[in-house]
Amino acid sequence: MAISFSISHITLITFFYLLILSSSSSSATTTALNITSILSSFQNLTSFSSLLCSTSVASDLTRRDPITLLAVPNSYLSISPSSDLTRRLPPSSLGDILRYHILLQYFSWTDLLKIPPSGVLVTTLLQTTGRAHSNFGAVNITRNPLTNSITIQSPAPYSPSNATVLSLIKTLPYNITILAVNSLLVPYDFNLMASDTRPPLGLNITKTLIDGHNFNVAASMLFASGVVDEFEADEGGAGITLFVPTDVAFGDLPGNVQLQSLPADKKSVVLKFHVLHSYYPLGSLESIVNPVQPTLATEDNGAGSFTLNISRVNGSLAIDTGIVQASVTQTVFDQNPVAIFGVSKVLLPREIFGKASAGITTKPGNGVAVATVQPPETSPSPVNAPGSSDPASNLSSPSGFHEEIKSDSERYQLQSCIVALCCIGFYVVL
């Protein structure tokens, strides 16, 4: 019942997608996602699209991919319970409800059909605002193995709100998938009247760091490179989280790591590697669902590169770059939408220091994790493969990761061929 989804429909969409794909070949341009213009070609999503615009959630999305958007078609948005919400809620609360419909992971239809009956937890844009308690900004996606019906609800037990996937509207591998669902989802324990409207913070990050006393090297590097202006501009939207190494951390850098002599563009990549493009208070970081987080450097270099692995080690927060493990030592500043944490080590991206650091020797008691993995070089391929829905992806072995992606895309091509053949058959039948 739930999946009113005929094979011809999937094959047609895939077929058209293949046509587009083959005509534009693989030379993807680096245009930001414009969700409004993507949705504008669907007559049955006009109300949902205008909600995204009126709550300014659409603009949060321009620098966010990969995502899966759960869109409620007009016919479902106009009936209860969805209509009650859109009528009753102030735009600020409605904005957070809509953020709950933006999954920060790309799912192809095949990925969805691989979801186990026990479900998968997926972080949404709401989790990144810090306004959801615990992991209630994540959704639990489950699949009924008998009907293949896919249901989405809060991970909270007995959560009353759920939505069922109606159909796949559009997919642009590996950036965005739009699924039609039959209802707006309400996050569990969500304060429907809370407001996300806030005056601009206008925080001077350089000054905040200098006032923190321990962070003079970082403050001067950020200031000199000019990236601090970019960070301050990001205080709007979903906010930012900075991990700032202490002065001692800069002093402890191994002799073969010459940060200051890096060319300016590399230096700014290293600095951006210390920043998450969302506001995460300490509690959210501690309960982070997906440990591997993209940084601002990921946005410039492609999905899957320049990620940080954030986890709890020995009761404190550890940040692992693959070649360095730092711990969060203090909260320097925390006020929505900006969080600044002191960290015990300079976060060296393995994409830049992977080879140079093969010789890094650990000073006693420092606990520097030295990895012998080869750097993945700067891979232009979109590395956010559908297979990454597997929480056990071993990102610290880039070569294996790339193999997994390759096999995934090969599988995708094979499936596409089969689908295209089916499609031709379908036309012949017609």
Positions touching ligand NAG (CB under 6 A) are 28-31, 33-34, 36-37, 40, 42-44, 62, 65, 73, 118-119, 121, 140, 142, 151, 155, 162, 166-167, 175, 180, 204, 206-207, 210, 291-292, 302-303, 309, 311, 313-314, 318, 320, 325, 367, 382, 394-397, 400
User: Which residue number, 325 or 416, has a Cβ lying nearer to ligand NAG?
Assistant: 325
CA angle 117, 123, 129 (to 5 degrees): 155
Q: Which residue has the tokens 């601002």?
A: 296
Closest separation in Å from C-beta 382 to ligand NAG: 4
User: Which residue number, 121 or 414, has a Cβ lying nearer to ligand NAG?
Assistant: 121
Which residue's CB comes closest to ligand NAG? Answer: 119
Closest separation in Å from C-beta 360 to ligand NAG: 16
- DSSP 8-state secondary structure symbol assigned to residue 279: -
User: Which residue number, 194 or 248, has a Cβ lying nearer to ligand NAG?
Assistant: 248
Closest separation in Å from C-beta 86 to ligand NAG: 17
Closest separation in Å from C-beta 258 to ligand NAG: 26
User: Which residue number, 35 or 89, has a Cβ lying nearer to ligand NAG?
Assistant: 35
Closest separation in Å from C-beta 194 to ligand NAG: 23
Beginning with the edge strand found earlier in the chain, give each strand of the sheet holding 292-294 in spatial order: 275-276, 240-245, 338-343, 325-335, 316-320, 307-313, 292-294
Query: Are 141 and 202 within 8 A, CB to CB?
Result: no
Judged by DSSP in three states, 165 sits in strand
Query: Distances in Å between the alpha carbon of 415 and those of 11, 105, 108, 192, 429?
Result: 11, 21, 12, 43, 21
CA distance 67 to 38: 13
CA-based R_g, the chain, Å: 22
Query: Are 110 and 412 within 8 A, CB to CB?
Result: yes
Closest separation in Å from C-beta 73 to ligand NAG: 4
User: Which residue number, 90 or 333, has a Cβ lying nearer to ligand NAG?
Assistant: 333
Provide the token pair at 362.
Answer: 């650990």
Closest separation in Å from C-beta 93 to ligand NAG: 20
CA distance 70 to 152: 10
Provide the token pair at 364.
Answer: 């006693």
Closest separation in Å from C-beta 61 to ligand NAG: 9
User: Which residue number, 10 or 420, has a Cβ lying nearer to ligand NAG?
Assistant: 10
In this structure, the number of other CB atoms found within 10 A of the CB of residue 29 comes to 5
CA distance 76 to 324: 49
